[in-house]
């Protein structure tokens, strides 16, 4: 490590300089915001007679010599509020949700990665549908987006593609039941790596501005994630304007597989719910002033800790759904017990090195 110290210092200086430039650009955006209206303040919403459901899932997986094992469980946590306080908390299917297990054969590494993601999402979306039917909440908050990420979409030649299409249908069912029951559906992305908002600033704002530092600002935005910039831009209680999830929904690899009515309404915004934390990205189905209600609710149920801005129902859902590695150890032991010590169940060599 000692020989890396000069390189580490160089990298640290580069990072520090990049942050300094982002902060300066953020100050510039705040200065011109009255004209361009990129963000505004939102008041926390009164939480009287509101039911808010948080959905999350946990996953454990293991690759063996001839098989792959996966464990998943998901839970919905319904917070019922009365006079801005939590009146009751209910769980679906229970406070100790059952674990779903599967064993697959002959999947290559890429398909196995797709399968684990689709398996987890299928469980979470199914739980969300059930929570909509059982609790009839005002809002459902998903941990993560309300559509699959493009990196989770297998090719049409993949063994997992048929299962992925079932997942898309499950999402359609969730959208339908939420629409029928008047439920607001939103996804809270904990650690967004997106740069869509920076692209919008670069293409739609900077393109109209003449300034000596314009090219430098464009260069900064090309290397910046949204939340990295917005940490400096937004103050607690402020949200950005909403924007389409994808610039061209009809050409987006995931959105194009959804009904046109849905893919054109999926929007996003950022809101800063905690003073010292990064803004969270929220994906939702745009309908009138839905976004302001979502943002107002998030401000009321998040940020109890100044350094962590995730809403309370999702924190509770994460705590319940999380699967410790010991669960997979127990599952593996039981498989060995009933199947016997077979070659296909041998651990991978990298886990069995004798030295």
Contact indicator for 77, 313 with CB cutoff of 8 Å? yes
* Residue 18 covered by a domain: no
Give dist(CA 172, CA 158) in Å, integer.
Answer: 22
pLDDT at 338: 80
pLDDT by 10s per residue, the chain, length 355: 778 999 999 999 999 999 999 999 999 999 999 999 999 999 999 999 999 999 999 999 988 877 899 999 999 999 999 988 999 999 999 999 999 999 998 799 999 999 999 999 999 999 999 999 999 999 999 999 999 999 999 999 999 999 999 999 999 999 999 999 999 999 999 989 999 999 999 988 888 877 777 788 888 898 899 999 999 999 999 999 999 999 999 999 999 999 988 999 999 999 999 999 999 999 999 987 799 999 999 999 997 888 899 999 999 999 999 999 899 889 888 887 888 776 666 666 576 666 6
Q: Which domain holds residue 56?
A: 50-326
Q: Is residue 340 part of a domain?
A: no
Query: Number of structural domains, the chain?
Result: 1
* 21 located within any domain: no
Alpha-carbon distances of 308 from 191, 224, 331, 337, rounded to whole Å: 12, 22, 34, 43
In CATH, what number is assigned to the domain containing residue 163?
3.30.2170
Would 43 be classed as within a structural domain? no
**Residue 23 covered by a domain:** no
Residue 347 lies in a domain: no
Q: Does 186 map to a domain?
A: yes
- What pLDDT, on the 0 to 100 scale, is given for residue 344? 64
- Do 346 and 336 touch, CB atoms closer than 8 A? no
How far is Cα 71 from Cα 156, in angstroms, rounded to an integer?
25
User: Residue 181, exposed/middle/buried by CB under 10 A (0-12, 13-18, 19+)?
Assistant: middle
Give the pLDDT score at 108. 93
In a domain, 301, yes or no: yes
Q: What is the pLDDT of residue 265?
A: 94
Q: Are 71 and 271 in contact (CB under 8 A)?
A: no
pTM for the full model?
A: 0.93
Write down the pLDDT at residue 354. 65
**Pair of tokens at residue 330:** 């127990």
Helical pair 5-36 and 226-233, crossing angle rounded to 10 deg: 60
Before 122, cis peptide (omega within 30)? no
Strand partners, 189: 281
């Amino acid at each position: 490590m000692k020989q890396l110290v000069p390189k580490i210092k160089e990298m640290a200086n580069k990072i520090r300089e990049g942050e300094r430039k982002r902060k300066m650009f953020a100050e510039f955006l705040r200065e011109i915001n009255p004209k361009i209206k990129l963000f505004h303040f939102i008041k926390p919403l009164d939480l009287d007679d509101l039911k808010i459901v948080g959905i999350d899932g946990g996953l454990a997986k293991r690759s063996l010599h001839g098989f792959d094992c996966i464990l998943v469980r998901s839970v919905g946590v319904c917070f019922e509020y009365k006079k801005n306080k939590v009146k009751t908390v209910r769980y679906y299917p229970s406070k100790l949700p059952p674990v779903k297990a599967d064993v697959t054969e002959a999947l290559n590494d890429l398909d196995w990665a797709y399968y684990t993601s689709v398996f987890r999402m299928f469980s979470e979306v199914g739980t969300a549908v059930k929570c909509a039917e059982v609790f009839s909440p005002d809002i459902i908050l998903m941990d993560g987006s309300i559509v699959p990420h493009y990196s989770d979409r297998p090719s049409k030649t993949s063994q997992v593609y048929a299962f992925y299409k079932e997942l898309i249908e499950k999402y359609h069912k969730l959208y339908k039941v939420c629409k029928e029951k008047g439920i607001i559906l939103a996804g809270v992305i904990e650690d967004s790596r997106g740069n869509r908002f920076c692209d919008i600033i670069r293409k739609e704002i900077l393109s109209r501005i003449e300034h000596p530092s314009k090219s430098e600002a464009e260069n900064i935005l090309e290397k910046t994630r949204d939340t990295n910039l917005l940490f400096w831009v937004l103050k607690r209680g402020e949200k950005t304007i909403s924007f389409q999830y994808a610039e061209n929904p009809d050409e987006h690899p995931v959105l194009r597989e959804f009904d046109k009515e849905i893919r054109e309404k999926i929007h996003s915004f950022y809101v800063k719910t905690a003073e010292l934390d990064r803004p969270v990205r929220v994906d939702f189905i745009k309908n009138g002033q839905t976004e302001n209600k979502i943002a107002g609710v998030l401000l009321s149920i998040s940020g109890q800790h100044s350094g962590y801005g995730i809403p309370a129902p999702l924190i509770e859902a994460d705590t319940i759904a999380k699967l410790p590695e010991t669960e997979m150890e127990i599952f593996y032991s039981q498989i060995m017990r009933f199947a016997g010590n077979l070659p296909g169940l041998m651990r991978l060599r990298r886990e069995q090195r004798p030295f």
